Chains A and B, each alone.
Chain A
Amino acid sequence: MAKSIPAVSLPGSGRLLDGTRGLLAIVLLAVFLYAVIPLVFSGRAYWFNVMTNAALLSFASLGVWITFAIGRVNIGQGAFALLGGYTSAILSTTYGLSFWLCLPISALAAGLAGFLIGWPLLRLRGIYFAMVTLSLTEAVRLLFLNTLGASGGGILNIPRPAGLSTPLAFYLFAATLLLAGYLAVWRLANSRIGWVFRSMRENEELTMSIGIDIARYRVLAFVLCSAMGGVAGACFAALQQNIYPATYTVSDSINFMLYCFLGGLDYALGPIVGAFGLIMAFELLRSIQEYQALLYGVLMIVVMLFLPNGLLSIGALLRRGAR
């Protein structure tokens, strides 16, 4: 069985089987999240909030990465983040539920919505799927804007989660969430399901022809993605202590997708590298105020021109150069 696998021509097939490299990535990520960031930014509340935000965005992008694994460009993650955020916000303000109960409920709600919407929508492919999920983001935003009318659809004064009163505590929680998410996604990508996903990306008809129920697998991928979006949304609402229909817009959905691209679609670590890289670059460029946004755009294009397969492909590029 193992012998037949490398025959699949995938750029990352050899590396994905390489357990030590995967473990190394996990250790490096843990060191970065638990040691480097807390030490570098110790005592700076603002930066901890930025990093918490980066961790939550990475978590949502990890979900999008799962849908990339089945070969779908998903620009709908903002919809599910908004859904999770509102679920948690309504439960904690109107019904006084603890954040720690709201969080799994948000995941379930977003996952269920992902199931109901994804089952029919996943029949679409290519740019049609990309465009329809983009429309979904806008539809959900307008839904909240029009149904929760009175205050422009916003919910304020969401209580802070019990036990996470300082920025550092919230950051550590988000970092743990991200690490757990990465472990789960990495494990998934290297399991049988991961290989089924990859074969679906290569050719859905062929996958179907060997007796795999592709409709079930693709909905599984989408539900996992949506649930992760819901969790990220719920945490973000609790961090900001408010949520508005404009908290997640089409631009945010595009960003979630962008982080995956930027890090590299062939790597589960891609969305995390992409999100932290872009967010830190954006913050560092803040010192040159007026050019900030302009340089940010230039930076993105430069990366794309020289590393079209993502930041993490630099390793493969160097290895090829050395050979």
Chain B
Amino acid sequence: MEQVIINGAILSANYALIALGLTLIFGIMNVLNFAHGQMFMIGGLVVYWVCAVYGMPYGVGLAAAAVSVGVIGMAMEKGLFQRVMGSAGREENSMLLAVGTAFLLENAALYLFGEKQRGIPPMVQGVYRIGNAFLPANRLVVFVVSLLLIAAVLSFVYYTRTGRAMRALAQDRTATTLMGVEVGRISMFGFGLGAALAATAGALLISVSGVNAGIGTAISTKAFIMIMIGGAGVIGGALLGAIVLGFAEAIGYALFPGSVTYLIIFVALIAFLLVRPQGIMGKPWG
């Protein structure tokens, strides 16, 4: 039982980084970022490249992953999404663009890093024992770093000028433009921040479970589940969704064989959305 709680808490903290990034991008841009899982994957592979191939310390890898994928995210927003959303006839067209970039990132990763499952050795050795449960020190580091990052992002979004502009943008794009906010710059920054969060999650998880170039779609699906549970575009909802999914997964894996867990999660999700279509905290048709 203690083990399930520990596993659930670690998963939740990591998933929260993924969901937070996705919901930021959705809130600001109104784009469902299909490439989110691919950003996670590239974040992980950059760490592998920096730490395992070049032998640099883990902290450098983490920073490199966040910065490089953040820049990719900003470039995508500036070069692709802003252009296309200006000229597309239907809003859904931005979805194709997101899928296209997901393809591109996945194939670029395949080309650059190959298709092997990559992992790095744990950053710290040792195992703690709490009651009947075991907690590897490495996972504790992942957990603490995730929590710190979540706290940092939340205080950024809620207590800085740029963060306030981002929240305003999510609420009403036109009004925000009229208030003199540089919408283009804020959108670009928000997209980059969301991408960097996904990359950080990947960079943390590669030391626990490893990452391969094909993992993107599965991660995106998990991210979608989380924001469906919590409500798309709502920051609190993303955190709540991450906690629900993290614990559901930990409990499921303890009770059922392999893929039955996710079958149950999907069925429960569909049933839940019938009762509450906008998720726990979402605005209707937000």
Q: Are B278 and A309 within 8 A (Cβ)?
A: no
Give the distance to chain B from A255, nearest Cβ to Cβ, in Å. Answer: 9
**Cα-based distance from A129 to B87 in the complex (angstroms):** 25
With A127-B26, A128-B228, A308-B89: A139-B100 Cβ-Cβ less than 8 Å: no
**Is A296 part of the binding interface, using a Cβ–Cβ cutoff of 8 Å?**
yes
Q: Are B266 and A258 within 8 A (Cβ)?
A: no
Q: Are A261 and B225 within 8 A (Cβ)?
A: no
**Is A146 part of the binding interface, using a Cβ–Cβ cutoff of 8 Å?**
yes
Known pairs A73-B92, A300-B100, A305-B83 / 20 extra A-B pairs, C-beta < 8 Å: A68-B92, A124-B277, A128-B278, A132-B269, A134-B221, A135-B266, A135-B270, A138-B221, A142-B266, A251-B217, A258-B96, A258-B99, A293-B106, A294-B107, A296-B107, A301-B104, A304-B100, A305-B80, A305-B84, A309-B90
Question: A10-24 CB contact bits vs B (8 Å, 1 = yes)?
Answer: 010000000000000
Q: Are B89 and A266 within 8 A (Cβ)?
A: yes
**Cα-based distance from A254 to B100 in the complex (angstroms):** 11
Q: Are A121 and B84 within 8 A (Cβ)?
A: no
Q: Are B110 and A293 within 8 A (Cβ)?
A: yes
**Cα-based distance from A297 to B99 in the complex (angstroms):** 9
20 pairs, A vs B, C-beta closer than 8 Å: A121-B270, A135-B221, A135-B224, A135-B225, A135-B269, A138-B221, A142-B259, A249-B217, A254-B99, A257-B99, A258-B96, A265-B90, A265-B93, A296-B103, A297-B108, A300-B99, A304-B80, A304-B96, A309-B88, A309-B93
Query: Within residues 132 to 168 of chain A, which ones have a CB less than 8 A from any CB in chain B?
Result: 132, 134-136, 138-139, 142-143, 145-146
Query: Within residues 153 to 211 of chain B, which ones have a CB less than 8 A from any CB in chain A?
Result: none
**Cα-based distance from A126 to B31 in the complex (angstroms):** 11
Q: Are A134 and B110 within 8 A (Cβ)?
A: no
Query: Within residues 118 to 132 of chain A, which ones have a CB less than 8 A from any CB in chain B?
Result: 120-121, 123-128, 130-132
Q: Are A123 and B260 within 8 A (Cβ)?
A: no
Question: Contacts of A138 on B, CB cut-off 8 Å?
Answer: 221, 262, 266
Question: Contacts of A254 on B, CB cut-off 8 Å?
Answer: 34, 99, 217
Question: Contacts of A294 on B, CB cut-off 8 Å?
Answer: 104, 107-108, 111
Q: Are A300 and B93 within 8 A (Cβ)?
A: no
**Is B285 part of the binding interface, using a Cβ–Cβ cutoff of 8 Å?**
yes
Q: Are A139 and B266 within 8 A (Cβ)?
A: yes
**Is B1 part of the binding interface, using a Cβ–Cβ cutoff of 8 Å?**
no
Give the distance to chain B from A143, nearest Cβ to Cβ, in Å. Answer: 6
Residues of B within 8 A of A (CB): 26, 32, 34, 80, 83-84, 87-90, 92-93, 95-97, 99-101, 103-108, 110-111, 217, 221, 224-225, 227-228, 232, 259-260, 262-263, 266-267, 269-270, 273-274, 277-279, 285
Give the distance to chain B from A206, nearest Cβ to Cβ, in Å. Answer: 15
- List the 3 shortest-distance A-B pairs measured between CB atoms, nearest first: A297-B104, A139-B266, A261-B96
Give the distance to chain B from A160, nearest Cβ to Cβ, in Å. Answer: 31
**Cα-based distance from A204 to B95 in the complex (angstroms):** 22
**Cα-based distance from A250 to B220 in the complex (angstroms):** 11
Residues of A within 8 A of B (CB): 11, 68, 73, 120-121, 123-128, 130-132, 134-136, 138-139, 142-143, 145-146, 249-251, 254, 257-258, 261-262, 265-266, 290-291, 293-294, 296-298, 300-301, 304-305, 308-309, 313
**Cα-based distance from A249 to B259 in the complex (angstroms):** 14
| Residues of B contacting A: mostly | helix
For B284, the closest partner residue in chain A by CB is: A125
Q: Are A139 and B270 within 8 A (Cβ)?
A: yes
Q: Are B103 and A297 within 8 A (Cβ)?
A: yes
Give the distance to chain B from A274, nearest Cβ to Cβ, in Å. Answer: 10
Question: Contacts of B96 on A, CB cut-off 8 Å?
Answer: 258, 261-262, 300, 304
Q: Are A73 and B95 within 8 A (Cβ)?
A: yes
Q: Are B110 and A132 within 8 A (Cβ)?
A: no
Question: Contacts of A124 on B, CB cut-off 8 Å?
Answer: 273, 277
Question: Contacts of B89 on A, CB cut-off 8 Å?
Answer: 11, 265-266, 308-309, 313
Question: Contacts of B266 on A, CB cut-off 8 Å?
Answer: 135-136, 138-139, 142
For A261, the closest partner residue in chain B by CB is: B96
Most chain A Cβ neighbours within 10 Å, of B227, B260, B266: B266
For A308, the closest partner residue in chain B by CB is: B88
Question: Contacts of A249 on B, CB cut-off 8 Å?
Answer: 217
Give the distance to chain B from A172, nearest Cβ to Cβ, in Å. Answer: 32
**Cα-based distance from A296 to B110 in the complex (angstroms):** 13
For B92, the closest partner residue in chain A by CB is: A73
The one of B95, B224, B227, B259 that contacts A261, using a Cβ cutoff of 8 Å: B95
With A127-B26, A297-B103, A300-B100: A132-B84 Cβ-Cβ less than 8 Å: no
Most chain A Cβ neighbours within 10 Å, of B90, B93, B100, B259: B100
The one of A68, A130, A293, A301 that contacts B32, using a Cβ cutoff of 8 Å: A130
Q: Are B99 and A125 within 8 A (Cβ)?
A: no
With A124-B277, A146-B260, A301-B104: A136-B83 Cβ-Cβ less than 8 Å: no
With A73-B95, A265-B92, A309-B89: A127-B232 Cβ-Cβ less than 8 Å: yes
**Cα-based distance from A149 to B93 in the complex (angstroms):** 39
